[in-house]
Structure 1
Amino acid sequence: TLTFSATANPIIYQNATPVFIDSDYETWNMDPKVLEAAFEKYGDKVKAVLVVHLYGLSADMDKIMEICNKYDVTVIEDAAESLGAYYKGKHTGTFGEFGVFSFNGNKIITTSGGGMLVSDDEEKIKKVRFWSTQSRDAARHYQHSELGFNYRMSNVVAGIGRGQLKVLDQRVAKKKYIFEFYKRELGQLEGVKFMPINDWNEPNYWLSVMTLKGKVRPLDVMVKLEEENIESRPVWKPMHMQPFFAKYDYVGGDVSEKLFENGVCLPSDTKMTDEDLNRICSIIKGLWS
């Protein structure tokens, strides 16, 4: 449930019914225990599990894959935010049957729009390519025996994306530097915690996110930075709290709601200098003085 609406929209496109799953505090992603509870509730009605790697943090894929394999259900990974992130040495997006990445303008590499689909099933990838180019049959004339889609990026922007792949490691390193800078400078403030990093999670640190518990609230931080013409953002509003998706079932407690209520995404652009970071930290620290 804790994700951007683009994760859930395709479920509706397929006339399927989403069931939203709560997060855990260990990963900020899908809670395997809650996923198991959802399987127990819905049984063989479950057709697929769509796992999100939020803000470049990997979900606990071993536990999730174990559950999904037990019920023989396909796993699709929304790795839109996690290009360059790993779980126990394996890249996010490569555990399930498909992985989906985003190259939107704010991602760690960008083609302005569009993204990438990955799978180790070559035949299914060929089929997706066929669909994405209007399902044109291999005939001399224009012939279409299946419904087609215009779901592809241009060659020009694809080339821009391929060029940026060469500097992906540098971008991840800079994102990590930014995160560690914030954690060092702000992590000792009363009520401040940063997104969880553990032994098996190698994030890409796409966004540096902190949670606040105390008198200073996320809106205070966002407004104060905005006064200085600096952009920050709230954590994603959970899908089960969205007007459009509120009618669908939600399984879990209030972890995702608490992360939304208490979280704030700090400026994380790789072009930021130490001077920029110090200025941001100084403004935020002022809220505690």
Structure 2
Amino acid sequence: MSANSNIATAPDVTVLPRVALEDMQLDIDPKSYQALYNKTPFGFTHNLHRLDIFQFDSISELLDRYTGASNDYYVAGSAATAGSAFFEAPHIKLTPKEAIHQLNERSTRILLKRLENHDDRFRRLLDLIIQQIRSIPGGLGDQPILRIQSSLFITSAASTTPLHFDPEVGFFTQIEGDKTYHVYSPDDVREEDLEDFYVRGKVSIGQLDLGERDPGKEQVYNLRAGDGFHQPQNAPHWVETCGSRSISYSCVFETKADRALGRTRAFNYYERKLGMRPTPPGQNSQLDNVKAEAIIPDRLARKVVNRIRHT
């Protein structure tokens, strides 16, 4: 019996020719990108699944680099339902290297965060992706990026990640196996929910009630290796894997403008607490800027809001 005999395997597929890292490609339609970037999800294709760094032997070696880096990985079981609370899924007290051996035995979701801090090839991949995205007119353009990171998701068959949203812009790619991605446009989230999230000032996931989502705004992506899609900031989504192991890669980032928008919503939280009706972001850019630049710790919130009320 070989040492890897109990590692979950994917269905037999035709071996595709490898692609050099410098030849990676996201095949994004410029018109979709210009019209929909950070507003509405849209799909694209890619060749990342053909890179050496995403072959399973290479990923297995990468797992060794996460030993002792508990802040950079998350191992959990499947959520009971798409509407479950995000952190209600059972936490699995294993390292990614240990958990990879039980994908066939128990529903397991492995998240490797900040790949670029553990392997320079992933840092180079991030650079190439951003260069390509910036080269398409519109969208990101030359906006300063304040935070960027990549993640790898290794998941058992028939597993569910419950509904949530992320406070960053994302480009998601399927590397191996099939995955069904249910995603909504950001405008399906109430401003009150966004205000409650951004006032905390933390980088985390946002919880939402699946029952409050508008079915008419749901988009479903049936992803196979070579498929991907763009996920706008704050776009609610939940995910389910299909009949085999799934591996996915994402690149997410937060621009200076994205972060300012979060601060505007944090300010609106305080206005709403004072009984006011805050102007939604985007309707008055000058007012948005004033709010984003304001200093609003709890003890000063009333003073700042009162000042804006009388200007």
Bin the TM-score by the shorter chain.
under 0.3
Larger strand percent:
2
TM-score computed with the length of structure 1 as normaliser: 0.22
The two structures have a TM-score, normalised by structure 2, of 0.21
